[in-house]
Amino acid sequence: MDSEHGLARAILLDRDGTINREVHYLSHPAQLELLPGAVDGLRLLQEAGFQLVVITNQAGVARGYFGEADVQRVHRRLREMLAAHGVHLVAFYYCPHHPEGKGSYRKVCPCRKPGTGLYERAARELGLDLARSVVIGDKVTDLLPGIALGCRTVLVRTGYGQSLVKEGALRSVDVDHVARDLADAACWILE
């Protein structure tokens, strides 16, 4: 918490392809593998006083591939893996909905990225200053909420990020920085 402003600065992170290796519909803790640079980058940001918050779409729930309990197990394991390196994730926020999902999960949800719902909820619940926070992800849909809310944004080349850069997909998106990985992102943020 920054006493001057009364609100905390945060790093609002995508999960898959940003912190851990991209796995198609990751549903089991055994599938988790931290990406190179993730631990070092997150530790640097945490030491600089940023709250670390994960915000992720989990359409696999809506599609019936796995349940919300599986998402919780994956998040518990990711928290444990990072805690073993002294990195503390403050909170996880996820959207289990999808417009083409099944049952009650089938809906257009303002929390599903690129919607801003989960970011606004995190700011409200955790006392975050979004104007002094940074959104990091490997896809354009990860960055659009940050742009809409006035956060700085960083695309990491891990996950889908490298192919987006190669395809020129960022030309129409006002991203603040493109980083190799979370360690590189942290260095840029702390400059």
Residue 184 annotated as catalytic:
no
Which residues contact residue 83 at a Cβ distance below 8 angstroms, ignoring those fewer than 6 apart?
none
- What is residue 181's DSSP assignment? S
- In Å, how far from its chain's centre is CA 3? 25
Active-site residue, 16 included: yes
Is-contact 58 71, C-beta < 8 A? yes
Which of 14, 138, 142, 181 is flagged as catalytic? 14
CA distance 140 to 13: 13
Q: Which of 2, 16, 174, 181 is catalytic?
A: 16
Q: How far is CA 48 from CA 32, 105, 109, 133, 163, in A?
A: 26, 38, 34, 12, 30
Which sequence positions are flagged as catalytic? 14, 16
